[in-house]
Structure 1
Amino acid sequence: MVVIKRVLVCAALIIGALSLSVAMVAAQGTVIGSGTFDGKSGHETSGGVDVVKGGDGRSVVLKEDFSLDSAPDPKVGFGKDGEYDPASKLGHLQSKDGHQTYAVPSALDLNKYNEVYIWCERFNVPLGVAKFR
Structure 2
Amino acid sequence: MRIQPATGFKSSVRAVMVGLAAAGLGLVGGIHASFASPEFLSPTHPTQLLAQSPKVISSGTFVSGEHPTKGGVKILKEGNKRLIQLDQGFSTFSMGPDLVVILHRANNVIGSTKPPAYALKAGDYVVVAPLQKFNGTQTYTIPENINLANYKSVGIWCRKFNATFGAATLK
Where structure 2 has 5 or more consecutive residues not aligned to the other structure, the ranges are: 1-32, 113-119
Q: Partner residue of 2:148?
A: 110
In structure 1, distance between residues paired with 2:154 and 2:137? 15
Identity %: 33
Which has the larger strand fraction?
1
- Report the alpha carbon displacement of residue 73 of structure 1 after superposing the two structures with TM: 1.6
Partner of residue 128 from structure 2, selected from 54, 70, 90 = 90
Give the TM-score, by structure 2 length. 0.63
Q: Which amino acid aligns with 1:32?
A: I
CA contact (8 A) 2:69 2:91 kept: yes
- Residue correspondences, number: 124
Q: Give the one of 55, 62, 67 matched to 1:30.
A: 55
Q: 1:38/1:20 Cα in 2 relative to 1: closer, same or farther (>3 Å)?
A: farther
CA separation of 1:100 and 1:86: change in aligned 2, threshold 3 A: farther
User: CA-atom RMSD, angstroms?
Assistant: 2.4
Higher Rg of the two aligned structures: 2
CA distance in 2, matches of 1:16, 1:76: 39
Q: How does 1:1-133 map to 2 (within 5 A)?
A: 8-9=36-37, 12=40, 17-21=46-50, 23=51, 26=52, 28-41=53-66, 43-70=67-94, 71-81=96-106, 82=109, 84=120, 85=123, 88-133=126-171
Contact 2:35-2:41 within 8 A present in 1 as well: no
TM normalised by structure 1 equals 0.80
CA offset at residue 72 of structure 1?
A: 1.5
TM superposition shift of 1:16? 5.4
Give the distance between the partners of 1:78 and 1:6, measured in 2 at CA. Answer: 49
Measured after TM superposition, the shift of residue 69 of structure 1 is 2.0
Give every structure 1 segment of 4 or more consecutive aligned residues whose post-TM-superposition deviation is greater than 6 Å.
none
Unpaired stretches in structure 1, ≥5 consecutive residues: none
